[in-house]
Chain A
C-alpha cells in the first residue's frame, strides 16, 4: 500500500468513525422515538447529493467530571452546506444520539461557525434542534455558547432568512434561538419546547400538566404562536420548508426567484365567495386563492390567531405576502394576537423585499376587559408601526367592513399605502351604523314618540349615507372603487408600477417599535 492510499484509508476510517454519531444503539433508540438521525434529516431536507459537511472531526474540550475520557462524535452536531430548490443554504442539525445533543462550547462553536458562514455568503440558514439542553459538565462555557448563538440570530435577522426546525426537545434557554429566528417548524408528538418543564412547574406552583399540553407541537401552533408550521411527520415538515424557501429570496439584497406565471383555478370564484350581506361570514382564504397563481396559497401560522390570515402566494410568478382579516373566525376582529401575528409578518416581508397585499374586512378591535388588560393598545400599536414603517409596495383592497381604528391600521392610505382599492360592497366609516346612529341622533331618538322606530330609521339613514366606499373615495383616501372580478388585474398592475418603488424613512439608528 502506497503512503497516499494509507493516508486516504485513515481518512476514511476517521470519517466513518465520526459519522456513526452515538453508535448503533443510540441511533436505534432515536428511531424508536419516531425520530430520524441527524444526517438522515439533512439528507432528506436538501437536494439529493448536495450536502457537504464541515467540522466533522471537532472534539469537545471539557476536562471536568471525567469528560476528558469521553469521545463525542462531532460533539453532537452536524454542520454544512447544500442546496434546496437548487439554491444554496447553510444547515446545522443537533445529533441527539451523541450525549443527548447537549450543547457544549465546541458544539456551539460549530453552530456559530455555520451561522457566520451563512451571513457572509448571504444564504438562508436552517437549524434543526434536537437537544437535551446545556451540557451541565461544561458549566458556564455552555451558557456562553447559547449567548453566542442568540447574538448571531439577532445579527443575521433581516439579512438572511433563518429557519428553526424543532425535531425533539428544545428546552430552557435553548428555545430562544428559534424564538429569534423567522420561522419555526414543529412536528406532532416529536417537538417539545418550554422554558421550565412540567416537573419544575409542579414543584414550584403545584400545577400539574403533561409535556405535550405544556409545550407540544400543537400548543405552539394553536395557543402560544411560537411556531409557524405544523406537520404530522418529519417528511411533511421538510416538504413545508422547501415550499417556504421557494417564496423567499436568499437575502435582503435580492428578490425571490420567480415561479412560472399561471392563472388562478376556475373553481375559486371571487364574486361568489364573498356574500354582499356584511353580517355573513366566509373563508377569506378562498378570496386569496382566487387571486394567486394556480390558486396556491401557502399559509403561515394557520392555527394561531385565526381571525387574521397571513401567508405567501404568487401573482404572475412574483412572490406576494398576503394579510387578510378572516370573517370566519371572531368576525375577523383585530385583537392582541392577530396584531402581533400580522405585524411580524409585515416586518418580514418588508425586510426581504416582498410586496404586501392587504385584504380588509373587519369590524374593528375586539372589545372586552381581557383584551384591554392584556394590552391591546400596546399590541395593536405594533400593527400600525409595522405598516407605517414598511417601504415595500403596499396594496390594500377593502372588501366589506373597514371601521374605526381598524380601518386606519389595515394599511390605510394614511399609513402610506401605495394603492388602496375598494369593492362596491365596502363600508368605510368611523364605526358601524348602529353605534354611529345611536350617538349622532341620540337626541332625536330619545325625543321621538317611538324611539325604536326612529332608531331604525336613523340607522338606515346612516347606512345609506356612510356605509359605502364613496365618501372615502370622494376624499381620495381610496384610489379606485373596483369590480371584485377585476381585483387580480388591479393588484397585478399595481405590482408592475411599483417595481422600482423608492420610498425611504428619515435617517435614524432604528425606530422604537412597541415590542
Chain B
C-alpha cells in the first residue's frame, strides 16, 4: 500500500486534460481514455478524475408539468383523475412519509394529463406522481 502511494501514477491511469478547439469533445465516461477539455488555452496535463465526478448526473432542466415526490413514502389517497381541471394549491393526493400525512398540492392551474401514483404504492424520492397537460398557447 505504502509502495503504491509512493509510486508516480502511470500515464494510462490518468486522464488527459487536453487543450483543444473542438467544443464537441468533452468527458467520455467509459472509453478508458477519458478526456476532459479544461480551457481553450494552456498546456495539456494529466490528472485523476474522482469517482464522484465520473458518476455525476448532468443537469437537466426541470419539467414544470411534472409533480415529483420530494421524499420516500407511500401514496395514501389520490384525489384527481386524468382530464380533471385543478386550481393551484388544490389537493392532489395524500402522501405519507416520516410519520406525516403530507398533502401534495397542485403547483399551478391546469388539467391533469396522467396520474402515475397508485394508492398504496411505496415510492422513492423523485418519483413521478402526476403530469399536467401542456397548456394551450394563447
Contacts and interface: CB of A to CB of B under 8 A. Distances in A.
B11 interface: no
A336 B102 CA distance: 20
A363 B26 contact: no
A434 B74 CA distance: 16
Nearest to A333: B98
Contacts of B96: 279
Interface in A401-445: 401, 432, 434
Given A209-B59, A213-B61, A366-B71, A331 B103 contact: no
**Chain A, interface residues (CB within 8 Å), range:** 20 to 34
Nearest to B99: A363
Nearest to B38: A204
B100 interface: yes
Nearest to A280: B101
A202 B99 contact: no
A173 B121 CA distance: 47
A204 B101 contact: no
Interface string B35-56: 0111110000000000000000
Contacts of A363: 98-100
Q: Which secondary structure dominates where chain A touches chain B?
A: loop
B135 interface: no
A206 interface: yes
Given A331-B71, A367-B72, A368-B72, A204 B26 contact: yes
Given A330-B98, A401-B99, A204 B37 contact: yes
A368 B71 CA distance: 9
Size category of the B interface is 20 to 34
Interface in A171-217: 202-207, 209, 213
A280 B101 CA distance: 6
A332 interface: yes
B99 A331 contact: yes
Interface in A344-379: 363-364, 366-368, 370
Contact of B36 (A204, A327, A401): A204
A205 B27 contact: yes
Interface in B61-100: 61, 70-72, 96-100
A484 interface: no
A204 B36 CA distance: 7
A258 interface: no
A279 B103 CA distance: 11
B58 A207 contact: yes
A278 interface: yes
B31 interface: no
A216 B102 CA distance: 30
Contacts of B59: 207, 209
B27 A279 contact: no
A137 B58 CA distance: 35
A206 B27 contact: yes
7 contacts: A207-B59, A280-B100, A280-B101, A329-B70, A330-B70, A331-B71, A332-B98
Interface of B: 23-24, 26-27, 36-40, 58-59, 61, 70-72, 96-103, 125
Interface of A: 202-207, 209, 213, 278-281, 327, 329-333, 363-364, 366-368, 370, 401, 432, 434
Given A205-B27, A331-B98, A366-B71, 12 more contacts: A202-B23, A203-B23, A203-B39, A204-B38, A279-B101, A281-B101, A281-B103, A331-B71, A332-B100, A363-B100, A366-B98, A367-B72
**A-B residue pairs, 10 tightest by C-beta:** A331-B100, A331-B98, A206-B26, A363-B98, A363-B99, A279-B101, A330-B71, A333-B98, A207-B58, A432-B99
